[in-house]
Structure 1
């Protein structure tokens, strides 16, 4: 007998890790155009990716700060977490805007690691953020 899991609505948060949160904040606001929504110096900085159809946020943490368990009685007892080494995130971009993104990234001296079409015809552009995370901008048809 198979039990079905209840449905999920989608991805609400995506987390990456960086040592220098000031540099990360500058990149994600100045280069990527995201709006910073909250920051705790030395711990994290959060960005709004979109509000439609549901809110989506990008969380950038310092692993060293989030690997520690919450203090006893903490009002937000988030369990410890953290990752070492480069992570990956893919942001959906309208296919007719990918060339604009490529030019925009070049104007900010962001090197393109790969720009190709998948077997289904969808296109992806890969580059790195200042923390070394692999960032992908892709046509949403990639997973259609």
Structure 2
């Protein structure tokens, strides 16, 4: 299931990258960060859905969406509070340190959430 979801995410990100490349307004970092943040949200949501239920996963994602819109889509994105707008990271990570930080955080969260999801699946299978 994770492979299929990541494959679909890759197709969407590739399409977005193609459209952005044709319009000429976005750097190559944006699609890479889109995939990284999308994978992080996906794996974390799968863990939450397995551990706490689909409602909890949906609720957390909606709260993250609202916070990201507030902190990532305003002038706050230029301050140090840009880190709070998780879903806006692909657009607010405009410097090399920010890009490296986002990639590091997304990889660490993906690994930890993937391990937690695997443990939750094993625990659910035993029940």
**What TM-score comes out, normalization by structure 2 length?**
0.24
> Which structure has more helix as a fraction of its residues?
2
**What TM-score comes out, normalization by structure 1 length?**
0.22
> Which structure has more strand as a fraction of its residues?
1
